Amino acid sequence: MSAPSSRLDATHNPDTLSWVESANTQDTDFPIQNLPFGRFRHNRLEPWRIGVAIGDRVLDLHATGLIDHSDMHRLMAQTVPERRALRVALWEGLREGSALQKLWADALLRQSEVELGLPCEVGDYTDFYTGIHHATTVGKLFRPENPLLPNYKWVPIGYHGRASSIGVSGQQFHRPRGQTLKPGATVPDFGPTARLDYELEMAAWVGVDNALGAPVSIANAESHLFGVTLLNDWSARDVQAWEYQPLGPFLAKNFASTVSPWLVTMEALAPFRAVFERPEGDPQPMAYLDSEYNRSAGALDVQLEVWLQTPTMRAAGNTGECLSRSNLRDAYWTLAQLLTHHTVNGCNMRAGDMLGTGTLSGPAPEQGGSLLELTQGGKAPISLANGETRTFLQDGDSIILRGSCQREGARRIGFGECRGTVLAARDL
Ligand code: CA
């Protein structure tokens, strides 16, 4: 049995073109096969409206008459058949030759001319730790003799994060201050973090809720997930090292997190499913985290990239340098397993809750999804093509995450940009 959101239909046909010209270019993230949802407004006085990205435009969903509200949580909470019906209706209206072209052309705006918001009001935020290559490399830095704790291969490790500081692509934040313990010191210092880092992650967004006390089975998990975005979980490594024991991440993580503006739906990701398998010798997931479907198609093939643009690059008109590449397939747990595990004790999830994957590093050292990994804990600065170097982020640096799905027989789709910029620490 396959999850209903993973079924392929006419909306995935790679040959379909749109009457929106920019949706037909080879490099667009938003061809008609994608149709992700987000929120936009013309100015700050206006309430958020729900839009669909198509090429370099945004379609005002309310103006098409397909919905009669502007409540993204309500849209996300639709059943899978309702979600599929909306996707088909959008595809029908936007495809080349559609009778709706004249009507819908008036509902189309340039993305560059509107403000894109968070894709929805963010509910609770949980961050997992599914990147086993990240967990192993970082574990070695913190605990050389014992990098991967014995629970790692059995239980999807996570912690409760903070939703209030989550911002959308374009977010700028001041370098945080905090307590740190300098090497060899016995008393902590206080000041701006000297080891500011990014984390390349993806986030799954809950649509359909579950009642308190009612776990979501692995068979139903994906029907509760609405879509996926990119996520940068900014981290202050020196603050983290001093504060993380015994209760885990706290102020090292909650000063800013950045997400991309478009919810790429589970339906849009259907052509990019992948086999989920464990390396030889690793334990298989426990029964409540296992299903035939999860094994055959539970993983997702999403290619990920991290780009850095320094102030020097910006001044020179240089759009940035790629620091690393990896893939969501390298995650140790699937998105369905994360949701099922999160609810197995009866915890209730609600529309707009966000589940971070954890840092998605690839198996090779140059595929580290954070500077902590790429610089071996700050010991080996990386050299940039323009002659600059970095161990950790400097003021003015922008980090840009990108993601895309590409496969033989399918149209390439992308996630848009997840861009964030570090500002100097604020005066106290
Ligand atoms: Ca993280």
Helix (H) or strand (E) holding 417: strand 413-423
| 131 CA → ligand 1 middle, Å | 10
Write the pLDDT tens digit of every residue in 151-165.
Answer: 999 999 999 999 999
CATH topology for 125-423 is: Fumarylacetoacetate hydrolase; domain 2 (3.90.850)
**Read out DSSP for 218-256?**
TTTHHHHEEEEEEEE--EEHHHHHHH-TTT--STTTTT-
CA distance to 186, 229, 247, per residue, from 40 (Å) = 50, 16, 38
| DSSP helix/strand/coil, 347 | coil
The two tokens of residue 154 are: 């059995």
CA atoms of 287 and 303, how far apart (whole Å): 29
CA atoms of 83 and 225, how far apart (whole Å): 11
What integer is the mean pLDDT of 192-213?
98
What integer is the mean pLDDT of 395-409?
98
Average pLDDT, the chain: 97
Q: Which ranges constitute the DSSP H helices of 77-123?
A: 80-94, 101-105
Helix (H) or strand (E) holding 342: helix 335-343
Helix (H) or strand (E) holding 108: strand 108-110
| 199 CA → ligand 1 middle, Å | 6
What per-residue confidence (pLDDT) applies to 149?
92
Fill in the DSSP letter of residue 55. Answer: T
| 181 CA → ligand 1 middle, Å | 21
Look at the alpha carbons of 35, 328, 412, 114 in this order and tell me if their dihedral is positive or negative.
positive
Q: Indicate where the chain has its CATH 3.90.850.10 domain(s).
A: 125-423
What integer is the mean pLDDT of 229-258?
97
| pLDDT higher than 80, residue 185 | yes
Q: Indicate where the chain has its CATH 2.30.30.230 domain(s).
A: 4-116
CATH topology for 4-116 is: SH3 type barrels. (2.30.30)
In this prediction, residue 428 has a pLDDT band, given cuts at 50, 70 and 90, of: confident
| pLDDT higher than 70, residue 1 | no
| 68 CA → ligand 1 middle, Å | 37
Fill in the DSSP letter of residue 22. Answer: G
Write the pLDDT tens digit of every residue in 11-23.
Answer: 999 999 999 999 9
Is 134 part of the annotated catalytic residue set? Answer: yes
| pLDDT higher than 80, residue 407 | yes
Residue 34 identity: N
Q: Which ranges constitute the DSSP H helices of 253-300?
A: 292-297
Choose, from 12, 134, 224, 341, the residue flagged as catalytic: 134
Share of the chain above pLDDT 90, in %: 96
Residue 152 phi, psi dihedral angles, 5° rounding: -55, -40
Residue 84 identity: R
18 burial level (CB within 10 Å; 0-12, 13-18, 19+): buried
Share of the chain above pLDDT 70, in %: 99
Spatial CB neighbours of 149, under 8 Å, sequence gap ≥ 6: 139
